[in-house]
C-alpha cells in the first residue's frame, strides 16, 4: 500500500512538484542576499530615535518595516512620488533604494499559484500536502530498505537509478518535509481553514483624541522600545488632527494616539499568530537565511529525485506477471508463487512456467498477493520470492506466508523456495529464509533445499533449474534471456605480455573509457582494486568476470589475465 501510494502520487504530481520545488529553490537565495544588505543589526537603537531620524530626512514618511533579516525598510512620499528606501540604524541615514526585482516577483507568483491566479493556490496547497505524505511514505520505504532509522545514517546500498533516487531522497527528506508541512500550513491559513492570528488583532479605535501631534521622541512607548522589537509602524498623515500610530511588535499589535501618546487599542499576539509567523519563517527562510539555503538545496535534490523515480517506474514496464496457458488453480499439478518488488523476478518465473508447460505439466503461476484457498491436485509448489531492501517482503507479499499456511492442498505437495536478492544488503534473501522457516514449522515436505540468486544472476538461476530437472526427472530446457545491463565501452590503451616462452603466458591489460562526456562521467560506476569487472562478449548475454587490479583514483581500468590451454 505504501509503495503503491508513493508511486501513483509521485508520478501524477511530479511535474508540478518540480516547478514548485525549483521556484522555491530560487526564492531561497533572496533571504541570504538580503542579509548582505543589512547595514547593522538594530539592537541598541530605540524606536523614538529611529522615527526622529527618519522623519527629519523624509517628512512624509508613511510606513516603517523591520524585516526578519533586520533590514529596515522605509516608505514615504517625496517630490517624485512614492519612495522606498533602506535605513541604517548605525548611521541614522536613509540610504539605498529598496525594491523587489521582477525575477523575484515572477518566482513568487510561480511558486504560490503557478502563474494561474489566486484560485490556483488551492492546487499548490494540495500538492504541498501530497508532498508531505510522499515524504512520509518515502521515509518509511527508505527505512525498510536500509534496515530502520539507523540505516538512514549509514552507507547507501543498491545500484543504478534506484540507488540515486534513494540517495537524493535521504538528503532531501527533512528539508522537503519541512517545506511541505509549512507550505500546507500557509495555504490553509490563506484559505481561512486554520487561523493565522489576523482576526485576533486590536480593534480600530473609534474615539481618537484631537489636537497637536507629539514629537515621537516624547512618546514614552517609542522611547522605551528597542528597534529590534518592532515589526511595523504606520505613521499618521501630516496635518491630521486625529492622528494615530498603528504598530506591530514581536508580541503585540495596536494603535497609539499621536496627540496624547497613550494606547487606544492593544492586543497581544495570539498563539495562532505566533505559529503562523514561525511557519512563514521556516518556509521562506526570512530571518533564517542559512535555513533558507538548506531548504533550497533540499528542493533542488527533490527536483532531481522525481525524474529518477519516473525512470525507475519506467524500467519496470513490461515486467508484469502474465503467464500464458496458465492452468486453473483447481487443475494445476505445479503451483508457482512469485513475489517481486521491481518485476524482475517475474521474468524468471515466466521462463520456468513456460518450460514446465512445454514439458507437459499443468502449471498455475500467480503473484503472492493472489494465493487461492484450495489447490486439490497440486503436487509441487515452487516459491520465487525477492527481498525488498533490508529483509522486507516485496510489494503485495506481506500476507503471503499466512495465506499459504491457510491454503488447502488435497495432496501433500513438496515445496521449493528460491530467493532473489542482493548481497550488498546485510539481510540477503531474508524474505525467502522467512518463507522457508515457516514451511519447516508447518512440517512441509521439501522438494529442494532453499536456493538463492544474487543480483539476478542467470547462472545461479540455471543451476536451480538443473537441480529441479534432477528431482522431477524431466528435461525442462528453461530459456531465460536476461535483460542486458547498462554497459560501458572500454578501449585498450596498453598491453604487457609476460612468459611468452613458458607454458604460463600472462598479460596485463589496461583500459580507458571511450565516452568522456560530462553525462557519462557522472554515471560511471565507482570501483576499487579487487572488485569484479564483468565483460560481455558480442552477441552473448553471459559475462566473463575479471578481478580488477586498479582503483578509480588511478584513472584507468586494469586486469591481469592468463592463457589457459584447452
Tens digits of per-residue pLDDT, 312-359? 777 665 556 788 899 998 999 999 999 988 788 888 999 999 999 999
Question: DSSP readout, 271-296?
Answer: HHHHHHHHHHHHHH-TT-HHHHHHHH
Average pLDDT over residues 451-470: 90
- Fill in the DSSP letter of residue 342: S
Distance from chain centroid for Cα 106: 26
**Residue showing cell 517609542:** 222
Nearest CA to 222 out of 265, 266, 262 is that of: 262
319 contacts 343 by C-beta, under 8 angstroms: yes
- What is the per-residue pLDDT for 539? 65
Q: Model pTM? A: 0.66
- What is the per-residue pLDDT for 97? 80
Question: DSSP readout, 448-500?
Answer: S--EEEETT-HHHHHHHHHHHHHHHT--------PPPPP---EEEEEEEEE-T
Mean model confidence pLDDT for the chain = 86
Q: How far apart (Å, rounded) are the C-alpha atoms in residues 187 and 292?
A: 19
Q: Provide φ and ψ at 550, rounded to 5°.
A: -135, 165
Check whether 57 has a pLDDT greater than 80: yes
- What is the per-residue pLDDT for 43? 57
Contact residues for 246 (Cβ-Cβ < 8 A; gap 6+): 232, 233, 234, 254, 255
Average pLDDT over residues 66-73: 87
Check whether 63 has a pLDDT greater than 60: yes
Check whether 41 has a pLDDT greater than 70: no
490-562: what fold? Answer: Elongation Factor Tu (Ef-tu); domain 3 (2.40.30)
The residues spanned by each domain of the chain are 2-33+103-197+276-313, 42-89+206-267, 334-472, 490-562
Check whether 207 has a pLDDT greater than 90: no
> Higher pLDDT residue, 208 or 481?
208
- What is the per-residue pLDDT for 27? 92
Report CA torsion sign: 208, 212, 216, 222: negative
The two beta strands, 334-339 and 414-421, are unpaired
Question: DSSP readout, 399-451?
Answer: THHHHHHH-EESS--EEEEEEEE-TTSSSTTHHHHHHHHHHHHHTPEESS--E
Most confidently predicted of 150-154, 304-308, 381-385:
381-385
Contact residues for 554 (Cβ-Cβ < 8 A; gap 6+): none
Poorest-pLDDT segment among 25-39, 85-99, 309-323, 451-465: 309-323
Nearest CA to 247 out of 279, 195, 201, 190 is that of: 201
Secondary structure (3-state) at 510: strand
> Higher pLDDT residue, 470 or 81?
470
pLDDT in tens, 402-436: 988 888 998 889 999 999 988 878 888 999 999 99
- What is the per-residue pLDDT for 322? 83
Average pLDDT over residues 225-239: 84
CATH of domain 334-472: 3.40.50.360
pLDDT in tens, 107-155: 999 999 998 888 888 999 999 999 999 999 888 888 777 767 777 777 7
544 contacts 535 by C-beta, under 8 angstroms: yes
- What is the per-residue pLDDT for 9? 82
Residues of the chain with pLDDT > 90, as a percent, come to 31
Poorest-pLDDT segment among 36-50, 250-264, 328-342: 36-50
34 contacts 71 by C-beta, under 8 angstroms: yes
Amino acid at each position: 500500500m505504501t509503495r503503491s501510494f508513493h508511486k501513483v502520487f509521485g508520478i501524477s504530481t511530479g511535474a508540478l512538484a518540480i516547478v514548485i520545488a525549483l521556484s522555491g529553490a530560487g526564492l531561497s537565495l533572496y533571504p541570504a542576499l538580503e542579509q548582505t544588505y543589512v547595514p547593522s543589526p538594530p539592537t541598541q537603537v530605540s524606536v523614538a530615535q529611529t522615527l526622529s531620524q527618519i522623519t527629519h530626512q523624509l517628512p512624509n514618511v508613511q510606513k516603517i518595516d523591520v524585516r526578519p533579516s533586520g533590514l529596515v525598510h522605509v516608505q514615504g512620499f517625496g517630490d517624485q512620488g512614492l519612495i522606498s528606501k533602506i535605513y541604517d540604524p548605525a548611521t541614522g541615514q536613509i540610504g539605498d533604494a529598496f525594491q523587489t526585482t521582477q525575477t523575484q516577483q515572477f518566482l513568487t507568483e510561480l511558486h504560490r499559484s503557478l502563474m494561474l491566479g489566486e484560485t490556483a493556490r488551492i492546487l499548490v496547497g494540495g500538492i504541498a500536502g501530497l508532498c508531505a505524505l510522499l515524504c512520509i511514505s518515502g521515509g518509511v520505504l527508505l527505512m525498510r530498505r536500509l534496515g530502520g532509522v539507523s540505516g538512514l545514517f549509514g552507507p547507501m546500498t543498491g545500484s543504478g537509478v534506484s540507488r540515486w533516487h534513494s540517495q537524493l531522497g535521504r538528503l532531501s527528506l527533512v528539508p522537503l518535509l519541512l517545506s511541505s508541512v509549512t507550505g500546507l500550513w500557509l495555504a490553509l491559513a490563506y484559505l481561512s481553514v486554520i487561523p493565522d492570528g489576523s482576526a485576533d488583532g486590536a480593534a480600530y479605535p473609534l474615539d481618537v483624541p484631537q489636537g497637536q501631534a507629539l514629537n515621537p521622541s516624547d512618546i514614552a512607548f517609542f522611547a522605551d522600545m528597542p528597534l529590534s522589537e518592532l515589526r511595523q509602524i504606520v505613521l499618521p498623515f501630516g496635518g491630521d488632527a486625529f492622528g494615530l500610530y498603528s504598530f506591530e511588535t514581536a508580541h503585540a499589535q495596536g494603535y497609539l494616539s499621536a496627540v496624547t501618546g497613550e494606547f487606544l487599542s492593544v492586543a497581544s499576539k495570539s498563539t495562532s499568530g505566533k505559529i503562523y509567523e514561525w511557519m512563514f519563517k521556516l518556509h521562506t527562510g526570512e530571518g533564517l537565511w542559512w535555513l533558507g539555503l538548506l531548504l533550497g538545496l533540499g528542493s533542488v535534490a527533490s527536483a532531481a529525485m522525481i525524474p529518477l523515480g519516473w525512470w525507475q517506474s519506467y524500467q519496470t514496464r513490461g515486467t508484469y506477471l502474465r503467464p500464458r496457458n496458465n492452468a486453473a488453480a483447481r487443475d494445476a499439478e505445479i503451483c508457482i508463487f512469485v513475489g517481486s518488488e521491481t518485476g524482475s523476478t517475474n521474468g524468471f518465473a515466466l521462463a520456468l512456467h513456460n518450460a514446465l508447460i512445454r514439458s507437459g505439466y499443468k502449471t498455475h503461476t500467480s503473484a503472492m498477493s493472489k494465493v487461492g484457498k484450495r489447490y486439490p491436485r497440486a503436487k509441487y509448489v515452487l516459491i520465487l520470492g525477492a527481498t525488498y531492501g533490508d529483509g522486507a517482503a516485496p510489494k503485495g507479499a506481506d500476507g503471503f506466508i499466512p495465506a499459504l499456511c491457510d491454503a488447502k492442498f488435497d495432496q501433500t505437495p513438496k515445496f521449493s523456495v528460491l530467493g532473489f536478492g542482493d548481497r550488498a544488503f546485510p539481510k540477503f534473501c531474508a524474505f525467502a529464509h522467512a518463507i522457508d522457516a515457516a514451511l519447516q514449522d508447518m512440517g512441509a515436505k521439501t522438494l529442494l533445499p532453499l536456493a538463492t540468486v544474487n543480483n539476478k544472476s542467470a547462472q545461479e538461476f540455471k543451476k536451480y533449474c538443473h537441480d529441479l530437472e534432477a528431482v522431477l526427472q524431466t528435461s525442462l530446457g528453461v530459456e531465460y534471456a536476461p535483460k542486458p545491463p547498462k554497459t560501458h565501452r572500454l578501449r585498450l590503451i596498453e598491453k604487457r605480455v609476460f612468459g611468452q616462452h613458458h607454458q604460463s603466458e600472462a598479460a596485463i591489460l589496461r583500459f580507458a573509457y571511450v565516452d568522456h562526456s560530462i553525462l557519462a562521467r557522472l554515471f560511471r560506476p565507482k570501483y576499487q582494486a579487487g572488485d569484479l569487472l564483468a565483460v560481455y562478449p558480442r552477441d552473448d548475454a553471459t559475462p566473463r568476470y575479471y578481478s580488477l587490479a586498479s582503483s578509480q583514483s588511478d584513472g584507468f581500468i586494469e586486469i591481469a589475465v592468463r592463457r589457459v590451454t584447452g
